[in-house]
């Protein structure tokens, strides 16, 4: 199946710094990628939809100025957590769709464990 | 996307067949039903997808009744490595679809 690679797998940063997470579709072109956040023992929460060549669409309650998304090419989307704080510590996951007509199949990266200290 | 309801958790002994049912009463005509598996600290992994009746692959079977208001994921002869959270999603790929997750079912396989 299609492969989505996410980097880094885990990162520790100091409060106030910014962290960039990359999501790449390795063997297909993804016009749309999705970014999720998952807190311990909870489900994935959709943060934003990343569209190649245009602005991302953010879910209600997600600060677009804090979570900067750039989808500059058909194989790469990045999420930058700006001015990170301990409450931003979470598991961040991206996904990309190799859209099949009438199907709903998304491929997920391995996730990034962010710890803000 | 149609809302889904699943049991929060299930326990099963090794070697048993496990059936996880998902309710999706407001499924739309062009919606598919997709199941994902997630291990701790990993991204979800696609298991199986179906539209109606029965679908089987090397990992699982998916049973969908005629009214499509529910579906059942069947895992044959589970092992300890099947301990994970299983998510049921309902939706279609019209345009920029969103994949939103419900609570999932935490399956614990017991030796």
Structural tokens at position A43:
């489900």
Structural tokens at position A58:
């953010």
Give per-residue pLDDT as tens, B79-97: 999 999 999 998 876 544 5
Cβ contact A49–B98 (<8 Å): yes
- Which of A27, A26, A28, A22 is closest to A50 using CA atoms? A22
Cβ contact B41–A91 (<8 Å): yes
- Dihedral (C-alpha) A50, A56, A60, A64: value to the nearest 10 degrees? 120
- Residues of chain A numbered 7-46 and touching chain B (CB < 8 Å): 32, 34, 36, 43-46
Q: Which of A34, A37, A38, A106 to mutate to test the interface with B (most CBs of B within 10 A)?
A: A106
Cβ contact B43–A104 (<8 Å): no
Give per-residue pLDDT as tens, B16-33: 999 999 999 988 888 889
Give per-residue pLDDT as tens, A51-84: 888 889 999 999 999 999 998 888 999 999 999 9
- Which of A37, A42, A40 is closest to A95 using CA atoms? A37
Residues of A in contact with B91 (CB under 8 A): 104
């Amino acid at each position: 199946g299609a492969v989505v690679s996410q980097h880094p797998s885990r990162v520790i940063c100091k409060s106030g710094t910014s962290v960039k997470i990359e999501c790449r579709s390795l063997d297909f072109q993804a016009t749309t990628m999705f970014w999720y956040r998952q807190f311990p023992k909870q489900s994935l929460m959709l943060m934003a939809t990343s569209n190649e060549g245009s602005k991302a669409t953010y879910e209600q309650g997600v600060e677009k100025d804090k979570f900067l998304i750039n989808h500059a090419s058909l194989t790469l989307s990045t999420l930058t957590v700006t001015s990170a704080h301990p409450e931003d510590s979470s598991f961040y996951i991206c996904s990309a769709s190799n859209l099949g007509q009438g199907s709903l199949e998304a491929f997920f990266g391995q996730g990034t464990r962010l710890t803000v200290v | 996307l149609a809302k889904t309801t699943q049991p929060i958790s299930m326990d099963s002994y090794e070697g048993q067949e496990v059936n996880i049912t998902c309710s999706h009463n407001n499924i739309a005509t062009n919606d598919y039903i997709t199941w994902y598996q997630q291990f701790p600290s990993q991204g979800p992994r696609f298991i199986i997808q179906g539209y109606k009746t029965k679908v089987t692959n090397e990992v699982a079977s998916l049973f969908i009744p005629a009214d499509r208001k529910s579906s059942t994921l069947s895992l044959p002869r589970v092992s300890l490595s099947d301990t994970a959270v299983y998510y049921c999603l309902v939706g279609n790929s019209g345009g920029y679809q969103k994949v939103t997750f419900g609570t999932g079912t935490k399956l614990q396989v017991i030796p």
